[in-house]
Structure formats: structure tokens, C-alpha cells
Amino acid sequence: MENGAARQLSDFLASANKRELLALIRFLEEEAQEDDLFELFRLAGETRKASYGDRVFFRGLIEFSSFCKNDCYYCGIRRSNRKAARYRLTKNEIIDCCRSGYDLGFRTFVLQSGEDMFFSDEVLCGIVSGIKELFPECAVTLSVGERSRESYRRLFAAGTDRYLLRHETADEAHYAKLHPPEQALKNRKRCLYDLKELGYQVGAGLMVGSPFQTYETLAEDIIFLRDLQPHMAGIGPFIPHKETRFAGFPSPPPKSTPILLSLVRCLLPKVLLPATTALATSDKNGREKGLLAGANVVMPNLTPYEHRKDFSLYDNKLATGSEAAEGLSVLKRQIKGLGLKPDFSRGDHADFQKG
């Protein structure tokens, strides 16, 4: 019965049109009772279990540059924020972070930055190949924004396994309200399809509750994820930053992000789905709610302590406690308390697992 209900929801999401998806999202947000949401989250948990059992994969996050050439209206490290603290880690500093993470048990490193052109293909390839040389059994994920297909090809050849590039919104008009004219949704989508064709494990994703978002734009996001079939999906709540034009905008209700996580889990049963730092920042129980809604990845922070607050994408971002690598015992205890199993392996997408 349980697997049948999960399959029924997955089949619906796989074929529903925009109007039907919009109606489902509206119902879950506005009319669904606590029992309805509990059932949705339970189905998402069953779906996750079918592909990954009870495992929750750990990634070591290294935020290595807060410089960015872009001016996204919602982001605290946008180029026009003159109050942003800017820093860059050197190759040796990044490798030291990996070494610390390796000793803690991590076998995936996620290197994230603003779109910092100091990190050319040559520089980034040198960093990736240096990590791979020292830790050949580990996976390297990059999250460094929009680049050319040739750049992505070089980075893949250097040993990059995965690439995260959140699409933010799949609706053209909505995208234009969140970004300056020189940034185009068409190019972001081109990047995602290039990455897939080149052989990466690819991550897209969106902000839940971003300014001007509607049920219609969320339905567009579901349809885009269905078409793209990403291996990872970063889905977290919008949290305003005080130095952006959206400083006064609210974050979404606590239930909104778990609802979207569950829908994406049921749409893409094998997807790697983080319980994000933003979710834990917006709601003190957010990480647990995300994991109960089908998420199966957590990313403790390996960035040098003195720079963690400087990578300020949104206000009040957590950088200590169980968000930090130092809080691993707390995080592992939380996960075990939910009946799940901490897993420090590479944690590849099911279609990329060997054997």
C-alpha cells in the first residue's frame, strides 16, 4: 500500500500539466491539514528509502571566495554590495581544508564561490587535480556559476565529478525580477544541459518563497526539473539580506520548503537532496524537517573559521554549531535520532554508483 501510494504520486508528478501542478501546490500550501502533510512527507521518505535506504550523505563544504562579478538582487555577496567582506582562499588553503575534512571522514568536497574570475580554468583545474592527486577516492563538486562549455569540459577532465548550479526559477519573467538584464535564464539553462551532456552529476535548484514567486512559477520549476532530470537539487528557503533590495521581504512559512522537497523527491526518486544551511537558518528544526521530507544530504562547513561569516549570501547564516565540521557529533546524533544513518562515503547518485 505504502509503495503503491508513493508510486501513484510519482506517476502523477511525472505527467501532470502546469495547471494540475499549480493546483496541487496551492492545495498543499493553503488547504492541506497536518495529516495531509504528514502523509506527503511519509511518501517522500518511502521514495528516498527505495533508492538510498536510510543513508544521509555528508559533504564537506568549502566556501573559497566571496568575490562575485554578478549582481543578483537577492544575494549578499553581489558585486555592488560594498559592505561585503571579500576574501579568497589559496590553493594550499583549500587543500588544507580538504585534508582536515578527510581526517574527519569526508569523502566528498564541495567547493563553492561567487563567480570570481580570478579562478580561471587553469587555476581551478590545478586546484581540482591537486585534490584528486592527494585524495583519489574522494569526489569533488564545484559550484562556481556560469561558464563556457569548454570551461566545463576542462574542469571535468581535471577530475571534477559534480557541479551545482541552481536555476533559481524556471520562469523567464520571474528570473528577470531577481537578476539584472545581463543575466539570462536561457544561459543558465544552457549551462545545466552542457554539464549533463559532458558527464557531470548535475545539480539544479531553487529558492522557495523568493520575491514575486507564485504557485505558477513553482509549477514551472517542477516542469523544468522533470525535463532536466538533475542528479542533485538544492532547494532552500529565501532569506533576505539587509544590503539588498529585498531586505524587507519575508521568508516563506516553515512548511513551504519541506513541501517542495517532498514533491521533488517523489518526482525524482534517485535525486540527491540536501537539507540546506538556509533551511536550518530559517527554522531551528529546519534540517530535521527537511530530512523527514525526503532530503538525504547534509553539508557541514569546512571553510576556515575566520571566513565563515564572510560568505554571507543571506542574513544570520549559521556557521557554527552542527552546521560546522566541529559539530559533527551533534549532527550525527540528530540524524540517528530520526532513524537515519550518517554516511561519509562519496555518496554518488544511484545511477553513478559502481558495482
pLDDT in tens, 292-329: 999 999 999 999 888 877 666 644 555 555 456 667 88
Q: What is the pLDDT of residue 94?
A: 98
pLDDT at position 47 over 90: yes
The residue-averaged pLDDT of 152-176 equals 98
Which residues make up each annotated binding site for (3R)-3-methyl-D-ornithine? 143
- What DSSP string runs through 129-180? HHHHHH-TTSEEEEE-----HHHHHHHHHTT--EEE---B-S-HHHHHHHS-
Query: Could you tell me the pLDDT band of residue 277, with boundaries at 50, 70 and 90?
Result: confident
pLDDT at position 62 over 50: yes
Percent of the chain's residues with pLDDT above 90: 82
The residue-averaged pLDDT of 48-71 equals 96
User: Higher-confidence residue: 331 or 154?
Assistant: 154
Q: Domains along the chain? A: 2-341 (3.20.20.70)
Please enumerate in sequence order all residues whose Cβ is within 8 A of that of 348, keeping only pairs 6 or more positions apart, or say none. 139, 161, 201
**23-27, 91-95, 244-248: which has the minimum mean pLDDT?**
244-248
Which residues make up each annotated binding site for [4Fe-4S] cluster? 68, 72, 75
Which residues make up each annotated binding site? 68, 72, 75, 143, 168, 188
Q: C-alpha grid cell for residue 295?
A: 532530503
Query: Could you tell me the pLDDT band of residue 275, with boundaries at 50, 70 and 90?
Result: very high
pLDDT in tens, 10-45: 999 999 999 999 999 999 999 999 999 999 999 999
Q: How far apart are CA 185 and CA 179, in angstroms?
A: 9
Strand order in the sheet with 60-65: 60-65, 108-113, 139-143, 162-164, 201-208, 232-237
Q: What is the pLDDT of residue 276?
A: 83
Query: Could you tell me the pLDDT band of residue 353, with boundaries at 50, 70 and 90?
Result: confident
Q: C-alpha grid cell for residue 212?
A: 514575486
pLDDT in tens, 175-215: 999 999 999 999 999 999 999 999 999 999 999 999 999 99
Q: What is the pLDDT of residue 313?
A: 64
Which residues make up each annotated binding site for S-adenosyl-L-methionine? 168, 188
The residue-averaged pLDDT of 98-123 equals 96
Q: What is the pLDDT of residue 1?
A: 34
pLDDT at position 239 over 80: yes
CB-count burial class (<10 Å; 0-12, 13-18, 19+) for 35: exposed
pLDDT at position 220 over 80: yes
